[in-house]
Amino acid sequence: MSDAASAPDALPEDTTPEKRDFIRQIVRDDLASGKHRAVKTRFPPEPNGYLHIGHAKAICLNFGIAGEFGGVCNLRFDDTNPAKEDPEYVAAIQDDVRWLGFEWNSLRHASDYFEVYYLAAEKLIRDGKAFVCDLSAEEVRQYRGTLTEPGRNSPWRDRSVEENLDLFRRMRAGEFADGARTLRARIDMASGNINLRDPALYRIKHVEHQNTGDAWPIYPMYDFAHSLGDAVEGITHSLCTLEFEDHRPLYDWCVDNVDLGGHAELLQPLLDKGLPKEAAKPRQIEFSRLNINYTVMSKRKLMALVGEGLVDGWDDPRMPTLQGLRRRGYTPAAMRLFAERVGISKQNSLIDFSVLEGALREDLDAAAPRRMAVIDPLKLVLANLPEDHEETLAFSNHPKDEGFGKRSVPFARELWIEREDFAEVPPKGFKRLIPGGEVRLRGAGIVRCDEVIRNDAGEIVELRGWLDPESRPGMAGAERKIKGTIHWVSARHAVEAEIRLYDRLFTVADPDDESEGRTYRDHLNPASRRIVAGYVEPAAAAAAPEQSFQFERIGYFVADRYDHTGERPVFNRSVTLRDTWTSKG
C-alpha cells in the first residue's frame, strides 16, 4: 500500500480523517503517476423513479471523491429508455443531490449526446464493427448460446458496409417497426463473456422522448450510451456497482473502437449544442451495492408500494427514498456519516438498519435542540399553586452545548405529563410518579401525587399534587434524593400537535424473502405509523418545517416538511432515543 507521502504536493488538503478505500487509492495513484491531472466523476441516474438510500452511497462516493481530490462531478441523466422516464423524477433527483450537500459541475443528459452516439454507430459500421440484424428478439436469444455453449453468428452478420449504412439510416428515418431490426456490435459470438456476443447497440422504439420529442425512433442501449457518455464528458473514473463488472469488457470495447479522442468529427454535434468537446478514456471501477435489512431497495418494489397505496407516496417517511428519509427527519449530515461508515469495497454485504439509525442519532444528538412534548397526555394539577399562577422558566436548548442558548418555557398550575409516567401499581423498578410518591418535574421542582381522579368509567383523568415550593433547581430543598425526573408542558400554553410515530416499514430483516409464496407485502409492519394527538411547548410549535428536535425522553422529531404550521404543528418521529429493535431479536 502506498502512503500519503506518495501524493503530489499539488493535491488539495484531504478531509480528515482521510478516507482510504480502494477506489480513492486508485484515484490517488492516478494523480500521483500523472495519468490524470484532475479527477472527473459523474453520477448517472436513470430518471425512472425516485432516488433511494443506495443511490446516496453512489452520490457520496462520486461527488465526495471529486471534492476531496479537487476535481469535478457531473450529474448525468441516463435518459435512453423514454418509455419509463418522467420529468417529475428529473426534478426530484436534482433536489436530492443538492439536499445531500453536493453541487454538480455540469448537468447533462445522455440525450444531449444522441447525435454523437449516432455518428459513433455509423463509424463502427464503416469500420466493419457493427451490423444491422433482422433477427427477432426471440431468435437473438436462441442464437446467443449459454454460459457453457458458444453462440452462433447471425445470418445478417456479413452484410456489406453499404447495406448496413443504408438500413441503419432507414432505421433512424423511422421506416421500420419496433423490434424489426437492431444494430449490433460485431465482436465475438464465441466469447466466454455473453455481453460480448454481438450485443445490441440500438433498438427501434417509436416512443416520444421527454427531451428530444419524436426526433428519434431509435434509442441506444445502455452499455453503448453509458461508456460513450463517460468518454464524451472526459470522465476519468466511472464508478458503478458490481453487477456491471461483466459489462466492463464491452464498456472498454465501445470506448476503444469508437475512439472519440481520435475522431474529433464525431464530437461536432457537441460544439453545435454549445457543449465542450472533452473526450477521454474513462476507467470503469465497480464497488458493492448498498443493501440494508428491514427494507426493500429496488425501484420496481418501491414503485409497487406507492402504486398499490401501501405507503403514502414516494416521500412517505417510511420509504427508503431520499425524499422519504428527508421527510422522516434524516439530515444530510447523517446520510453522509452513514455512507462513510458503510464504506466502499467489492464485498457484497447487508448493512444493519441500526447503522442508519445510529448515524441519525449521532448527528441529532449534537445538532438538535431539546424541547418538551407530551405524546400521551395526562393532566397533573399542582393544587397548592394559585389558579392564575404563571411564570417563565429558562431552559438550556442543549445539555452539552451552551452555544445553543436558552429558551423560555412557560409554567403554570395545570400541566400535561406522559400517561406512562404515572402508575398506580408500579412495576418493579418504576422510578416515576406513584400515589403518595414524589418525582422531579424537569426544571420546575419536586411534586407529590396526592389524589387520583377518575371518570365514571373508572379511567384516570387527572392527578392532583403538591409542588414543593423549596425544591426548584438551585434551592436547598432540591437536594433531596428523588429517583425520577419526568417532562411536562403547561396545559394552558402548550400547543396541540399531530405526532406521527413512525417505525420500520417491515417486521422482518429480509422482506425480499419470497419463500412459502410470500412477498414483501406480507411483511409490512402494521405498526409502522401511529398518529397521536399530543402537546408541545410553544418553542417547538414555532419550529420551521424540517427543523429537528430532541423531545426530551421520547425521541428525535422533525417538523413535517409539508404539513407543519405554527398553529397546527405536525411532528414526525425520526428515530427513538435508543435502539428498540435489538431486544426484539
Give catalytic residue positions: 46, 289, 299
52 labelled as ligand-binding?
Answer: yes
Q: How far is the CB of 49 from ligand ATP (least distance, A)?
A: 7
| DSSP class per residue in 73-124 | EEEEE----GGG--HHHHHHHHHHHHHTT---S-EEEGGGGHHHHHHHHHHH
Residues 337 and 340: their CA atoms lie apart, in Å, by 5
On whether 118 is known to bind a ligand per the annotation, the reply is no
The CA distance from 21 to 286, in Å, is: 12
Name which of 321 and 490 has its Cβ closer to ligand ATP: 321
The 3-state DSSP class for residue 28 equals helix
Least distance from ligand ATP to the Cβ atom of residue 205, Å = 18
- Is 31 assigned a ligand-binding role in the annotation? no
Known binding residue 241? Answer is yes
Smallest distance from the beta carbon of 452 to ligand ATP, in angstroms?
A: 54
Residue 300 Cβ, how far from ligand ATP at the closest point, in Å?
7
For ligand ATP, give the closer residue by CB, 222 or 466.
Answer: 222
User: What type of residue sits at position 284?
Assistant: Q
Q: Which is nearer to ligand ATP, 110 or 554 (CB)?
A: 110
First to last CA, the chain: 40
Which stretches within 149-294 are classed as H helix? 161-173, 222-233, 248-258, 268-272
Whether the CB-CB separation of 45 and 12 falls below 8 Å is answered with no
CA distances to 46, 121, 179, 254, 527 from 216, in Å:
18, 14, 15, 21, 49
159 is in an annotated binding site: no
Which residue of the chain is nearest ligand ATP when measured via CB?
A: 54
Query: Minimum Å distance from CB 252 to ligand ATP?
Result: 17
Sign of the CA dihedral running 253, 256, 257, 260:
positive
Nearest Cα residue to 346 out of 68, 43, 21, 55: 21
Q: Which helix or strand (DSSP H or E) is residue 499 part of?
A: strand 495-502
- What is the rounded distance in angstroms from the CA atom of residue 121 to the CA atom of residue 223? 13
Closest CA to 278 of 323, 218, 215, 230: 230
Beta bridge partners of residue 465, listed in sequence order: 382, 449
Binding site for ligand ATP (CB under 6 A): 44-46, 54-55, 57-58, 240-241, 289-290, 297-299
538 in a known ligand binding site: no
On whether 125 is known to bind a ligand per the annotation, the reply is no
Instruction: Quote the least distance from Cβ 203 to ligand ATP, whole Å.
Output: 18
**What are φ and ψ of residue 326, in 5° steps?**
-60, -45
Q: Is 46 known as a binding-site position?
A: yes
**What is the smallest separation between the CB atom of 108 and ligand ATP, expressed in angstroms?**
14
Who's near 180: CB < 8 A, 6+ residues apart? Answer: 134, 204
Residue type, 138: E
Q: Which residues are annotated as a binding site for ATP?
A: 46-48, 52-58, 241, 289-290, 297-299
Residue list, annotated binding site: 46-48, 52-58, 78, 222, 241, 289-290, 297-299
